[in-house]
Chain A
Amino acid sequence: MRLLLVEDDTMIGESVLDLLRDEGYAVDWVKDGDIALSVLETEQYDLILLDLGLPKCDGLTVLRTLRDRKSQTPVLVATARDAIAQRIEGLDTGADDYIVKPYDLGEMLARIRSLLRRSVGRAEPVYEFCGVSIDPATREVKVDGQAVVVSAREWAILEMLLARPGTVLSRKQLEERLYSWKDGVSSNAVEVHIHSLRKKIGAELIQNVRGVGYMVSKGIS
């Protein structure tokens, strides 16, 4: 899952960046509204973590512009501005959730998970499909009730595929959501992870659609 962090405070930014990366998210960090908008024009993100008090172009303007472009990307506003009117304005401008600084990291991560879950049209916290269940909160993968240890990247691929069974994701799409700018991506990195995943959870779950990409087939039972 790839996140965009928009935060002008250096100290907060670097801590959040590291903490989110530790959680296995691919995170890019921009420090002002103008850059955020230009980045959002070209890159795809699964979620945007937005501060409101930004230089050059404030957070609400970023949000408004983003929604004017008909972007569906979930936006979690994380700000120190806590007045009720500001929260209402933020949510009405198109934010999906609003969290006030100083926030608890656990709470913020839970909100991120909830937004990601909802954005793929799911309500249940644990995804289960054909005997394979994954829990985004604990990052546990179970195959027929047996816990399986997977790497962070393998987990991310599995999560993306299991979230929307029947949807084919191309290698490029997977790569984009797997890596932030700082990560160098080797040409067959996705294949390597998928190969490793198949060994751990069984070869038949993840299907290769030749020339298109990968999917978890709905048809399997």
Chain B
Amino acid sequence: MRQRVAYSLRARLLLLLFAAVVITACIQSFIAYRTALDETNEIFDYQMRQMALSLRPGLNADGYGSNGFRQDEDESFEFIVQVSTSNHKLLFQSTPGTGLPQREDTGFSLFEVQGTTYKLYTLRHGKQLIQVAQDRAARRTLARNLAFRTTIPIMVMVTLLLFLVWWVVTSSLAPVNRVQRQISTRKAESLDEVDTKGLPTEVRPLVAEINLLLRRMRQAFEAQKNFVADAAHELRSPLSALKLQVEQLRRSGTEKDREIAILRLGTGIDRATRLVEQLLVLARQQANSDLHSNAQPIEINRLCLIAFKDVYPLAQQKNIDMGLIQSDECYVMGQEEALRIMLRNILDNSVKYSPENSKIDLSVILNGRSVDLLVEDSGPGIPDSDFGRVMDRFYRIPGNPASGSGLGLSIVRTIADLHAAKIEIKKSATLGGLAVRVTFEAYRLLTSPTKVPNQPGLET
């Protein structure tokens, strides 16, 4: 398997931009060179033609150069000029010894003499044949030099452009490098946020996300720390009580003292047992992540009725008026055992924290596609500031005398999360105490089961 090579954005940008600049420059130079070459050719041709044309009036039809062409010039001319009559009689030759072929066809052509290729221009003027030739190699060298000179500014500009690209890329990515340094040099356990000052808008969302993640991690760490501290307190308190109760039993002298001590020890053991059970339920439900493998349609109103009947005797002991207000027939996908535990915990909580002679209402409401389980009580409720914390593990309403494990609503939340249900805890509008609403997605049975009449009231 080929491993993906990590690349640097800066290196990649530089490489691609450099390549683009260089390729563009090459193409441009090539085009400029070619154009310059063609233009030079044309100019040279034009020169040759002009030269030939300008020789027309200067010579007689039958005489040698009267205008004093210096024929003994020793320099090697790049141009060779020759004028002859139509019957091949040479009238003028600029470079003696280098005869040009007297061709009939006019215009441009090539010929070779003494290993040198010449470009020839032939012009017929009356009876005269005017010919101008130019050494093609010299002509080419000149043209190339000229064309090459036109590309020099491009080369200079390219160098400048490359430097500019490097500078722009490096300085644009500087804030990213700064963030990278800031992150790489921090302490491993540091969860401080990264400074977003001066960051470009493209990178800012990324850093903001990282900061969000850091903040969430910090919160999670804090929650964990709180949990450990709370757990220490909550697990030790029942043990402290047991230890003291045993000590009391050991020290009790009279039969009456002993009876009191044994009674207290019994309640202490009950409390510790309840705590352990709740902890186990919580741990089991938290580990229970594969809902979908064993979820089935649960008739939630029937389950509510069962939970209701379970809790009713406890409510009666405190003379609490507990009623089932509404019980729509509906189904949710889920695990029966988990949902039963959840319902039991919500109802237990209500009964536990409601004073004597208060009221508790339970409703199962089918709202189109969702199912609401609503438990309301007329108890003392909880302070507004604590609504956010009430489902935390070991949270307990301040000053509440009831000795719960503090895990009930944590269990409720865990099970609700497992079923993708929403929990809402607020002040009850009708009864004034606490209202716990769990909203599930309703499950529609494809084939309607045997029609069950609406659940009658509670039979006790």
Contact = CB atoms under 8 A, between A and B. Distances in A.
Nearest to B244: A15
B237 A80 contact: yes
A55 B271 contact: no
A38 B98 CA distance: 132
Interface stretch (B1-9, B228-236, B314-322, B437-445): B228-236
Instruction: Output the residue of A9, A12, A14, A15 with the most chain B CB within 10 A.
Output: A15
Contacts of A100: 236
Interface in A31-83: 32, 53, 55-56, 79-83
Given A12-B244, A15-B248, A22-B251, A101 B403 contact: no
Nearest to A8: B399
Given A11-B267, A14-B264, A19-B251, A55 B241 contact: no
A204 interface: no
Interface string B62-81: 00000000000000000000
Contacts of A11: 238, 241, 244-245, 264, 267-268, 271, 403
Contact of B243 (A10, A79, A81, A104): A104
Interface string B397-423: 011110100000000000000000000
Contact-residue size bin, chain A (C-beta under 8 Å from the other chain): 20 to 34
A18 interface: yes
6 contacts: A9-B403, A15-B264, A56-B398, A82-B232, A83-B229, A102-B236
Contacts of A15: 241, 244-245, 247-248, 264
Nearest to A101: B240
A103 B398 contact: no
Given A10-B401, A55-B399, A104-B243, A80 B248 contact: no
Contacts of B400: 55
B240 A12 contact: yes
Contacts of B271: 11
B20 interface: no
Contacts of B110: none
B247 A105 contact: yes
A82 B237 CA distance: 12
A16 interface: yes
